[in-house]
Structures are given as C-alpha cells and as structure tokens.
C-alpha cells in the first residue's frame, strides 16, 4: 500500500464531466489498495473571474479580503469532487483549508504555509474516507483566509505530501508532463521523462507555469517524490528527481518564457553612490521586488537605471517612482510593457562555456536585440521584445538540440 497525494488542476476539474473522470482516476488508486488524499484547484477560468470582481472594486493592493474572494473557487470543486466520489460508492469528504487546518502566515495573495497538523486527515485514512482538500487556500493564526499565489494548489499538494510523509505526490494537469518548452508555444517541444528539482525550480520560476515554483522548492526540501502527468490521457508523465537521467544529458534541459514583467528605465539620475540605494530601498519598503537590473553611465555625470518588475506591481510602483523622481531630480520614467524574459536552463551549463555564445549568436541570426541579460549557475535569461517570443523560443530550442526527435 502506498500513501499518495493526487492534485487535479483547473482544466482537470473544469466541469462535472471532468470531475467524474477525476473520480474514476481516484477510484483506480483506491482499488489498487492505496491511501489517497486529494487536492483540487478551482474550475479553469474561475479564479480569473473572481480576480475580475475584486479588481473592479480595488485594483492596486492585494488584501486579505481579495484572498477571501479568490479562495472561493476551490470550495466548489472540493465539494463537487467529494460528491462524485460518493456516487462511485467511496466514502469521501471535502476539507477547506481551515478544516485541515493549513496554517499560513498573513501575507495577502502569496501566503506561506507554516504548518499542517495531520490529525484530521489521518482520521480519514483510518476510516477509509477520501479527503478532498481545497488547494490554494490557507488560514492564519487570527483565523483569516489567505491564498498561496497563482498556481498555489501545487504547493498545497506538495506541502500535504510532506506533512503526511506520502510516498508520492502526483500533479495531474492538461499536458502529459514537463516539456523542454511550453508545448503550446513550441510545436517541437519534447517531453522529459525526468528533470531535477533544481532545473524544475528554475523552469517554474522563469515562467513554466506547469508547476508553481514554491511547490518545487518545498518538494526539494522535503524530498517529496513529485510527478507531473495528464488527467486526460494515460502516460507516465515526468518525474522530478534529485539525480539527472544520463540519457537526457544534454547541456540545456529546457527553455522558459515569461511575459509577466515590465521594464522600467529611470533617465538621467545624478551619479551619486547613495542614489541607487535610495531607489531600491524605497521600492523594497513598498514591497515591490525588482528582477533584472542594469546601470549605465553617461558623460554628463548622470546615469540611467533599467530594471524589470512584475506587471501586477506596476500600478503600485509608479507613484513610488514618481515620488523618488522629485526627490532625486531625475528627468524621466520610461515604461516598456512589451517585453518577454526568455531563459535557458540546465545543470549541464555549470561546466559548459558555450551556452551564452550559442544563445547570443542564435538571437543575432534572427536580428533579435537583447535588452538585458542575467545569469546564474544553471540559467541565462535575456529580455527581448515580446513580439519575438515564438520565434526566439523556437530558434533557441533548435539551437540547443531540444527539438523532438521523430523515430
Ligand atoms: P493546472 O490548471 O492543471 O494547474 P496550469 O495551466 O497551471 O495547469 O499548467 C499547465 C500548463 O503549463 C500547460 O497547459 C502548458 O501550457 C504550461 N507550460 C508552460 N511551460 C511548460 C512546460 N515546460 N512543460 C509543460 N507545460 C508547460
Ligand atoms: N485556482 C488558483 C489559480 O488559478 C490556484 C491553482 O489553480 O493552483 O491560480
Ligand atoms: Mg497550475
């Protein structure tokens, strides 16, 4: 008997027919003698609809009231799936986060799980009841509802698997595994049979939304046996592992793209050492994170500062920057909405010097101008014009020998 957490994403629970299909998958696991806890997302599109409601009343700052609204979608699917399981003759009940409880800190819209007491879920296992837990939500010490960031049901599932010492955590979605690039963008993307936690974390952090980055971080920390697979077709999926599969020992494992950032340039800032610290200090004080940064000096003892931040933070960042502009007396704030960050990721890059030159050469061959560059041990990211996203990702995919090999 294995103990498993199965998570079903939005498209997998998009309507009653899909929920009935999911119930069949769970029944097969139970019939095989396994102990199952389930985590569900909201029906596809539902969370976006709820975000729309909150934005029509208040667009700029996420609060715990936003979280109350956003968490509602998972309540519906947890109850419906429990009903579908009961219809198949299984004992099942739903759990909202507060009923488990899934305890979190109190940061609105991106709360972190602090603890999951398992006593209620263990009671279910003892009584052969399948618990269906609403993903994405949490509860603070003060009994306030929180959410874990978009895509957060993945994190609920991994955290539960860790708390329950589960043998595996299967993330069911609408693709049959992790691919070398988003299969919806790159027709020649190939499915990976496995990928390391480290690489998967970078892929997710750089925009591959197939897993929430935080879930991979947690899985790595707690050694959760994680797999991504499809609820639509039968396949083994992709295993997230600590060891790299030798058969897939290419230098680059995948390419991710992220259109959720904007680029900001502050023009003609007086070139004094304290100014950069003032700018980033003020942004940090206002909980605005910046990603890539480049500073360039001009002859007139002025400098330009360019950086990227999340598109969703732009409305909050602009008034802060306007205030700094007055204080430091620089001339202009230029916002570029039309950018994409493309990242090539692979552990093999650690001892291979050619990755950067292949990347630059390939983009140059297509006349794609690089605006910003950043590197880490296993990743190189560039900012380019958003318009070139499909072309750049496909060209790099070919250049790094990732295209699916037809046999
Ligand atoms: P769910 O609703 O099941 O959580 P998501 O929409 O969050 O599903 O994640 C699945 C989607 O992730 C896929 O439909 C795919 O377009 C996208 N995706 C992006 N990059 C990748 C990748 N490298 N491999 C697989 N899927 C990817
Ligand atoms: N329903 C939430 C979202 O759309 C959480 C999730 O799907 O994982 O982001
Ligand atoms: Mg998701």
Which residue shows structure tokens 């198949």?
88
Predicted confidence at residue 348, as pLDDT, reads: 83
Name the residue of 137, 150, 174, 209 whose CB sits within 8 Å of the most ligand 2 atoms, as the mutation to test its pocket.
150
pLDDT value at residue 287: 87
Is residue 379 predicted with pLDDT exceeding 70?
yes
Confidence tier at 245 by pLDDT (50, 70, 90)? low
Q: Which ligand is nearest to the CA of 199?
A: 1
If one residue of 22, 179, 210, 390 were mutated to test the ligand 1 pocket, choosing by the most ligand atoms within 8 A of its CB, it would be 210
The conformation of residue 242, written as its DSSP 8-state character, comes to: S
Helix (H) or strand (E) holding 140: none
**pLDDT confidence of 105, banded at 50, 70, 90?**
very high
The stretches of 32-91 forming alpha helices (DSSP H) are: 46-57, 64-70, 72-87
The per-residue DSSP string of 310-368 comes to: EGGGHHHHHHHHHHHHHHHT--EEEEE--EEEEEEE-GGGGG-THHHHHHHHHHHHTTP
Output phi, psi for 381, to 5 deg: -115, 145
Residues in contact with 286: Cβ distance below 8 Å, sequence separation at least 6, in sequence order: 316, 317, 320
**70 alpha carbon, closest ligand:** 2
Alpha carbons 320 and 298: distance in angstroms, whole number: 25
* Residue 300 pLDDT exceeds 90: no
Question: Phi, psi at residue 355, to the nearest 5°?
Answer: -60, -50
Which pLDDT band, with edges at 50, 70 and 90, does 248 fall under?
low
Tokens of 126: 């003892």
Q: What is the dihedral of CA 328, 332, 337, 341, to 10 degrees?
A: -60
Which helix (H) or strand (E) covers residue 251, if one does?
A: none
Residue 403: both structure tokens together: 């295209």
Give the ligand whose atoms come closest to the C-alpha of residue 343.
Answer: 1
110 CB within 6 A, ligand 2: no
Antiparallel, parallel or unpaired: β 238-241 and 226-230: antiparallel
What DSSP string runs through 10-44? GGGGSSHHHHHHHHHHHHHHHHTT-EEEEEE-PPT
Mean pLDDT of the residues in the chain = 95
Residue bearing tokens 């959410």: 147
Tens digit of each residue's pLDDT (9 = 90 or more) over 390-400: 999 999 999 99
Alpha carbon nearest to ligand 2 atom 4, residue:
47
What pLDDT score does 43 carry?
98
pTM: 0.95
pLDDT for res 406: 72
**Non-local CB neighbours of 109 within 8 Å, separated by 6+ positions:** 62, 66, 67, 70, 147, 149
- Residue 150 alpha carbon to ligand 2 centre in Å: 5
Residue 74 Cα: closest atom of ligand 2? 1
Q: How far is CA 110 from CA 66, 75, 105, 212, 214, in A?
A: 11, 18, 9, 12, 10
Q: Which ligand is nearest to the CA of 14?
A: 1
Domains of the chain: 3-249 (3.40.1160.10)
Q: Whose CA is nearest to atom 5 of ligand 1?
A: 210
Average pLDDT over residues 158-184: 98
CA dist 186 and 183 (Å) reads 5
Q: Is 343 in the pocket of ligand 1 (CB under 6 A)?
A: no
Query: What is the band of 7 on the pLDDT scale with cuts at 50, 70, 90?
Result: very high
Angle at which helix 389-399 crosses helix 354-365, to 10 degrees, equals 130
Q: Which atom of ligand 1 is nearest to the CA of 12?
A: 3
> In whole angstroms, what is the distance from residue 296 CA to residue 91 CA?
64
pLDDT at residue 247, as a whole number = 55
E-strand ranges in 187-280 read 194-196, 226-230, 238-241, 254-258, 261-270
pLDDT digits (tens, 9 = 90+) for 205-220: 999 999 999 999 999 9
Mutate to test the pocket of ligand 2, among 151, 173, 210 (most ligand atoms within 8 A of CB): 151
């Amino acid at each position: 008997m294995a103990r498993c957490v199965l998570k079903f994403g939005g498209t997998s629970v998009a309507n009653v027919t899909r929920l009935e299909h999911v119930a069949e998958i769970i029944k097969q696991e139970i019939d095989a003698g396994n102990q199952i806890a389930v985590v569900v997302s909201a029906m596809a599109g539902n969370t976006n609809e709820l975000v729309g409601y909150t934005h029509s009343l208040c667009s700029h700052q996420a609060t715990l009231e936003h979280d109350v609204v956003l968490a509602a979608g998972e309540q519906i699917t947890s109850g419906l799936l429990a009903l579908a399981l009961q219809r198949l003759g299984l004992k099942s009940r739903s759990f909202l986060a507060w009923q488990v409880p899934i305890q979190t800190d109190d940061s609105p819209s991106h709360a972190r799980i602090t603890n999951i007491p398992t006593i209620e879920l263990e009671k279910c296992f003892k009584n052969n009841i399948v618990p269906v837990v609403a993903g994405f939500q949490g509860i603070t010490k003060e009994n306030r509802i929180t959410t874990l960031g978009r895509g957060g049901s993945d994190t609920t599932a991994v955290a539960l698997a860790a708390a329950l010492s589960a043998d595996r955590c299967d993330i069911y979605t609408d693709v049959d595994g992790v691919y070398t690039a988003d299969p919806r963008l790159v027709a020649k993307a190939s499915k990976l049979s496995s990928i390391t936690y480290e690489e998967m974390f970078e892929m997710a952090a750089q925009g591959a939304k197939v897993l929430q980055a935080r879930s991979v971080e947690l899985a790595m920390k707690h050694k959760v046996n994680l797999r991504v697979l499809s609820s639509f077709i039968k396949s083994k999926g992709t295993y997230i592992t600590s060891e790299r599969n030798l058969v897939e020992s290419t230098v680059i494992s995948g390419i991710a793209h992220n259109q959720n950032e904007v680029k900001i340039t502050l023009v003609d800032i007086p070139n004094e050492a304290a100014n950069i610290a003032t700018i980033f200090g003020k942004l940090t004080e206002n909980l605005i994170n910046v990603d890539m940064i480049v500073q360039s000096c001009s002859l007139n003892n002025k400098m330009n500062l360019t950086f990227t931040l999340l598109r969703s933070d732009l409305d909050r960042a602009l008034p802060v920057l306007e205030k700094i502009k007055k204080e430091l007396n620089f001339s202009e704030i230029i916002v570029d909405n039309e950018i994409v960050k493309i990242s090539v990721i692979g552990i093999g890059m650690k001892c291979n010097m050619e990755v950067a030159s292949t990347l630059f050469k390939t983009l140059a061959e297509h006349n794609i101008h690089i605006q910003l560059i950043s590197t880490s041990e296993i990743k190189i990211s560039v900012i380019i014009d958003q318009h070139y996203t499909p072309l750049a990702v496909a060209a790099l995919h070919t250049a790094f020998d990732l295209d699916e090999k037809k046999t």
